[in-house]
Amino acid sequence: MTYRVCLVCMGNICRSPMAEVVLRQTLTDRGLGDRVTVESAGTGGWHVGDPMDERALTILEQHGYDGAAHRARQFTRDWFDRYDLVLAMDRDNLANLRRIAPSGVEVQLFRAFDPAAEEGAEVPDPYYGGREGFEEVLALVESASEGVAKHIADEID
């Protein structure tokens, strides 16, 4: 049985695809890659079909990750049935997901699994900034991915 995770941000071209690539690698490094599927999506649909933001892709590549295959998708209500874990990058997208979630479905913040993060910590949107914002996002998702991987390992073992 495959455990399925979806990471969600606004447009699915910066934060959530970066987190998808990093979490997938983290899980692979821990021997869980064949038991977990990691995907990402956005709450908005204006980038559907677009590749990852070039700045995000460049930062990932410079740190040894490959995000070239990514294409943006939009998360819809019927997707909740597909996933065991749905994680939002920020409180706005968390609220958007909770608004459409079926009764009893829990959605959490991605950084809730980062032991170094304060309660309610978010992954900030780097879209309107420069390189440093994308570097910050990478550092945050790398840190949180460790905790998410531990959580998933506990869930499936």
Q: Is 66 designated active site?
A: no
Please give the pLDDT value at position 24: 98
pTM higher than 0.95: yes
81 is catalytic: no
Strand partners, 5: 38, 85
Domains: count for the chain: 1
Phi-psi region for residue 43, left (φ > 0), alpha (ψ -120 to 50) or beta? Answer: alpha
Domain membership of residue 126 as a residue range: 3-156
What Cα–Cα distance (Å) separates residue 93 from each residue in 7, 21, 118, 136? 10, 19, 18, 19
Q: What is the mean pLDDT of the chain?
A: 97
Percent of the chain surpassing pLDDT 90? 98
Residue-level pLDDT at 42: 98
Point out the catalytic residue in the list 53, 90, 114, 125: 125
Question: Residues 16-44: what's their mean pLDDT?
Answer: 98
Structure tokens at 145: 């991915």
Q: Which of 15, 24, 55, 111 is catalytic?
A: 15
33-81 pLDDT, tens per residue?
Answer: 999 999 999 999 999 999 999 999 999 999 999 999 999 999 999 999 9
| Helix locations, the chain, DSSP H | 15-29, 54-62, 91-100, 131-156
- pLDDT of the residue at 144: 98
Q: Which is it for the CA torsion 129, 97, 8, 49, positive or negative?
A: negative
Predicted local confidence at residue 103, as pLDDT: 93
Whether 42 contacts 73, CB under 8 Å:
yes
User: Count of CB atoms within 10 A of residue 92's CB?
Assistant: 14
| Catalytic-labelled residue, pool 6, 9, 14, 114 | 9
Domain at 15, CATH number: 3.40.50.2300
Does the annotation count 125 as an active-site position? yes
**pLDDT range class, residue 157, cuts 50, 70, 90:** confident
